[in-house]
Chain A
Amino acid sequence: MTQNNRERLRQAQAAAAKQQRLTRAVGVGAAVLAVLIIGVVIAVLFQNQGKSATAGSVTPPHATSDGRAIEVYPGKAKAGAPVVELFFDYQCPVCKQFEGLYGGLMNTLASSGEIDLRYRTMTFLDQNLSNDASVRAGIAATCADVAGSYGAFHNEIFANQPAQEGAGYEDTLLRDTIPATVGISGDALTSFQACYDKQSTKAFVNTSNELGTQDLLAISKSVGTPTIHANGKAVSLSDVGAVQPTDPDAAAKLLQVFQKAAGA
């Protein structure tokens, strides 16, 4: 083989190798990029689904028009009564404690129209506890709003909160036991169970959690429950805690706490 031939051969080989490397790199690179783009698009779309109301979804009849909260005593509030929003998660043990101590007083104030009580359903504990009990309990309570039993249903969920945080709520409890306790029966029970089984209010519950997170971060600077806002301003839980629930004037004192926070 002459020097010239060998040189030519070497150049041809080098060119072929370069071409092969290029083809492989472009091919594998394009494949990786395609998987990346498809994966991200699917993830974003998947995460987005169930956030907007779809066919068959139900908005609780006593939800506020902005989808943030549910009116516990619709139409009862007197003019100028502070809007009191309670942020809670059905799996939060401190929320259960709070309900036990102050739930009755809040309901007294709301039923007499002194405050405009609104419940704001949060479900972030599902993520901490790796279950879906907060969302399911939220769906059950909002389905009960269709039957007109929201407040009572809400109280019963907390009354039946498992002692062990994270144990979650059984479907039979939410679907059969509590409805019976709060007096949902007949056709109302059938449509309640259909609502729960089809998770018809799931979009509302998810939106409630999203908007709740947004408002908690904006006003209270952290996402925790229970949290109370009065007219969109944070209510100090230690001010609430200073009110003895057994005090004969407890309801009036609690109202003062709300009014002070709302005016502050």
Chain B
Amino acid sequence: MPRYTDAVPASVTAVPARRPWQEWVTLAARLVLGGVLLVAGLLKVTQLDASVQSVRLYQLLPWEVTAAVGAALPIVEIIVGLLLITGTFTRLSAVAGSLLMLAFIIGIASVWARGISIDCGCFGGGGEVEASQTQYPAEIARDLGLLLAGAWTVWRPRSPFAVDGWLFAAPAPSDDPVPTNEDDKEPTR
């Protein structure tokens, strides 16, 4: 990893650590995606029956599968959310978060195309609504934004304040004149 002494854009020279601006974008992206997933999961985990019912109203999955998916989804959201917020296995977690968003976008687009009128149930609740009260464009736009945050994090998983920094830490400095600031190396690169 090169040091960034010359190449840092003027806009981020106030940043204390010598980190490229992309790492701060990644921090923001994983906090936003992780935060939304965590909140969505927490709101649903206390009402698993409602979560199952929401999944059913999409009419996409076989009846028997909906119960397992509806019950497991909030747990998966909470765990992926926590991993992203703490920056643990950042790239893998961002892949999972992005796949979730992709699935949600496909689900919402599909009910929209089939003319089914439901609330997405994204943050709990859900259910049938009047056709005039559906918010499919807004829901898809929101999930697209979150998918973008996920995709960025997959592309640039390195970020400050991440458990990955400890997890994949380089050895303690030796008498070697090798640069020692490679404290946040991702193994998957």
Chain A interface residues toward B at CB < 8 A: 1, 6, 9-10, 13-14, 16-17, 20-21, 24-25, 28-29, 32, 35-36, 39-40, 43-44, 46-48, 124-128, 130, 206, 213-214, 217, 221-224
Do residues B79 and A124 form an inter-chain contact, with CB atoms below 8 A?
Answer: no
- Given A10-B176, A44-B68, A127-B127, 15 more contacts at CB 8 Å? A9-B175, A21-B167, A24-B168, A25-B187, A32-B89, A39-B75, A43-B48, A43-B71, A44-B71, A46-B71, A130-B125, A213-B56, A214-B63, A222-B116, A224-B128
Q: CB-CB contacts of B59-84 with A at 8 A, as 1s and 0s?
A: 10001000110111011101100010
Q: Can you list 21 A-B pairs, Cβ within 8 angstroms, ordered by A? A: A1-B175, A13-B171, A13-B174, A25-B187, A28-B167, A36-B76, A36-B79, A39-B75, A40-B71, A40-B72, A43-B74, A44-B71, A44-B72, A47-B48, A47-B52, A48-B71, A124-B127, A127-B127, A130-B125, A217-B56, A223-B127
Known pairs A21-B167, A32-B88; A48 contacts B67 (CB<8 A): yes
Q: Which of B75, B89, B166, B170 has the most CB of A within 10 A?
A: B75
Contact with A6, one of B75, B79, B176, B187 (Cβ below 8 angstroms): B176
Shortest B104–chain A CB gap in Å is: 18
Q: Which of B67, B76, B116, B171 has the most CB of A within 10 A?
A: B171
Chain B interface residues toward A at CB < 8 A: 45, 47-54, 56-57, 59, 63, 67-68, 70-72, 74-76, 78-79, 83, 88-89, 116-117, 124-128, 163, 166-171, 174-176, 187
Shortest B173–chain A CB gap in Å is: 10
Do residues A43 and B79 form an inter-chain contact, with CB atoms below 8 A?
Answer: no
Do residues A127 and B71 form an inter-chain contact, with CB atoms below 8 A?
Answer: no
The CA of A237 and the CA of B54, in the complex, are separated in Å by: 25
Shortest A90–chain B CB gap in Å is: 16
The residue of chain A having its C-beta at the shortest distance from the C-beta of B163 within the complex is: A28
Give the dominant DSSP class at A's interface. helix
Shortest A35–chain B CB gap in Å is: 6
Q: Which residues of A contact B167 (CB under 8 A)?
A: 21, 24-25, 28
Do residues B88 and A47 form an inter-chain contact, with CB atoms below 8 A?
Answer: no
The residue of chain A having its C-beta at the shortest distance from the C-beta of B171 within the complex is: A17
Shortest A218–chain B CB gap in Å is: 10
Q: Which residues of B contact A6 (CB under 8 A)?
A: 175-176
Shortest A144–chain B CB gap in Å is: 24
The CA of A1 and the CA of B175, in the complex, are separated in Å by: 10
Q: Which residues of A contact B125 (CB under 8 A)?
A: 127-128, 130
Do residues A213 and B53 form an inter-chain contact, with CB atoms below 8 A?
Answer: yes
Contact with A14, one of B72, B89, B171 (Cβ below 8 angstroms): B171
Known pairs A6-B176, A124-B53, A222-B116; A43 contacts B171 (CB<8 A): no
Q: Which residues of B contact A223 (CB under 8 A)?
A: 57, 127-128
Do residues B67 and A44 form an inter-chain contact, with CB atoms below 8 A?
Answer: yes
The CA of A25 and the CA of B89, in the complex, are separated in Å by: 9
Q: Which residues of A contact B124 (CB under 8 A)?
A: 130
The CA of A35 and the CA of B128, in the complex, are separated in Å by: 33
The residue of chain A having its C-beta at the shortest distance from the C-beta of B59 within the complex is: A217
Known pairs A17-B170, A47-B49, A224-B128; A32 contacts B83 (CB<8 A): yes
